[in-house]
Amino acid sequence: MMEIGLNHYLVLSTILFCIGLVGVMKRKNLLMLFFSTEILLNAVNISFAAISHYYGDFTGQMFAFFVIAIAASEVAVGLGLLIVWFKRFGNVDLDSMSSMRG
């Protein structure tokens, strides 16, 4: 109980990932969907750093850096698209984005 091992971090990462997954499925507002995506990426980062620490390997931390870079660029492009959509239609609701009749 008092000794924190790799499994503790993996379980924590799983819990956070599940919270993010529920958010992605449950949310209908696109801004909230972006927040949930950030949670998913962060949960994965924790497990990368933990595995990197407990196996003495540096690759996990490197991957976490690239994940952070991808998250930053995703936010920039996604928020730009979101602003354009909001200017045109006045809401960011997922259900209203069915103009392609998919």
Partner 1 sequence: MFEAIAFYLFAFLTIVMFYIVVTTSQALYALTALAAGMIFISAFFFILGADFLGVVQIIVYTGAVMALYAFGMMFFDTTRGVKEKQGNKYIISGLSTLAAVLIVMIVAAPIVSKNIVAYYPVVEGVGNVQQVGMVLFTKYLVPFELAAVMLLVAMIAGIVLAGKKMDLSITLMSREEIEAMKDESNKKVLS
Restricting to residues 46-65, name those near partner 1 by CB under 8 A.
46-47, 49-53, 55-59, 61-62, 64-65
Per rule CB under 8 A, is residue 96 in the interface with partner 1?
Answer: no
Q: Are the CB atoms for 40 and 17 separated by under 8 Å?
A: yes
Per rule CB under 8 A, is residue 37 in the interface with partner 1?
Answer: no
Residue 100 C-beta: closest distance to partner 1, Å: 19
- Nearest alpha-carbon partner for 44 in 72, 23, 14: 14
Amino acid occupying residue 91: N
Residue 21 C-beta: closest distance to partner 1, Å: 6
- Nearest alpha-carbon partner for 55 in 3, 8, 6: 6
Instruction: Mark residues 72-91: x for contact with partner 1 by CB under 8 A, - for none.
Output: xxxxxx-xxxxxx-xxxxx-
Q: Are the CB atoms for 45 and 67 separated by under 8 Å?
A: yes
Residue 62 C-beta: closest distance to partner 1, Å: 5
